[in-house]
Amino acid sequence: MRLTIFSLLLFFLVGCTPDELIPCREDGPSGKLCREYRYYNDEPQGYVELDYVGDSVVSSLYDRNSILQKTVIERFDGDRVISITSQYPDQESVVGTYHYNEMDSLFLIVYGANDSTLQISYVDGKRFRETRLIEEVIMYYTEYRYFQDDGKLYRKSLYSANDSLINYRNFDYFNTNGIERYRTTEYSSEHELIGRRLFTFSQNGLISSMEYRLADGTVAASMNYIYDGAGKLIEETGQNYGNTSKSVYLYH
């Protein structure tokens, strides 16, 4: 019976044009995301289909002709991801394994056969540094700084392997007429303004919009988020340097 359902689903996925929204199958896990349809400049670009198998989430990415381009398998231990595998039709798979310390905090991501890693260190329970290495050679690292009063993130700085500053980003948090917002301001290594991102949240704490302005005030990118009554994201629209994008989300 399972094979029959899969065969029917595959027939409809391949047989329909990519701009048709296919409802989720009825036997899926209630409330879980089943499919994301993607659009670019109002043209359909394909979709992502999610399947839930035991402790894993399998995401299959199809192009606008319903041809499989990539499969991502995320394995979980409770709420913690323990591995992510990316599979391609004509390339070798890429595997990342996630490792946690005694405080249940992520401290190491290993890509492939230990040829690339991301090492994460903490100070007083807060993330302090992320270091990217390839074959045990440091490529770059990111450092985090926090406000002393409330412990929120204050600055995120990117450095090269020789400790030269590449860029940094400051974080500001504020409330406007009861609406929570935060802003990130990005600077170059010469402390010149690159741009600002403003994030706005709804009264129930869900992100509602993002706007990115360049140093001259030009709005280079923006995003808007729409939710259903249960707080599930159902549509995401945006523009980036004049090009538009949209994602539509369907749930079981």
Tell me the per-residue pLDDT of 172-189, one tens digit each, with 9 for 90 and over.
999 988 889 999 999 999
Contacts within 8 Å (CB) and 24+ apart, 53-56: none
How far is the C-alpha of 160 from the C-alpha of 216, rounded, in Å? 27
pTM here is: 0.85
pLDDT confidence of residue 61:
98
Asked whether residue 58 is domain-assigned, the answer is no
DSSP structure class, residue 194: E
CATH of the domain at 245: 2.40.128.720
Residue range 109-168, pLDDT digits in tens: 999 866 899 999 999 999 999 999 998 899 999 999 999 999 999 999 999 999 999 999
Q: Is residue 70 part of a domain?
A: no
Scan for tokens 């980036």, then name that residue. 240
Which structural domain, as residue segments, surrounds residue 230?
164-252
CB-based contact 66:40 (threshold 8 Å): no
Q: So what's the pLDDT on residue 232?
A: 96
Angular region, 11: left φ>0, alpha ψ -120 to 50, beta rest? alpha
In angstroms, the CA 34 to CA 57 distance is: 11
The answer to the question of residue 138 being in a domain is no
Please give the sequence-ordered ranges of beta strands (E in DSSP) within 89-206, or none if there are none: 91-100, 106-111, 116-123, 126-134, 137-146, 153-160, 165-176, 179-188, 193-201
- Total domains present in the chain: 1
Residue 189 lies in a domain: yes
The reply to whether 116 falls in a domain is: no
Residue 214 lies in a domain: yes
Any domain includes 11: no
Q: For residue 177, is it within any domain?
A: yes
In 3-state terms the chain splits into helix, strand, coil percentages (rounded to 5) of 5, 65, 30
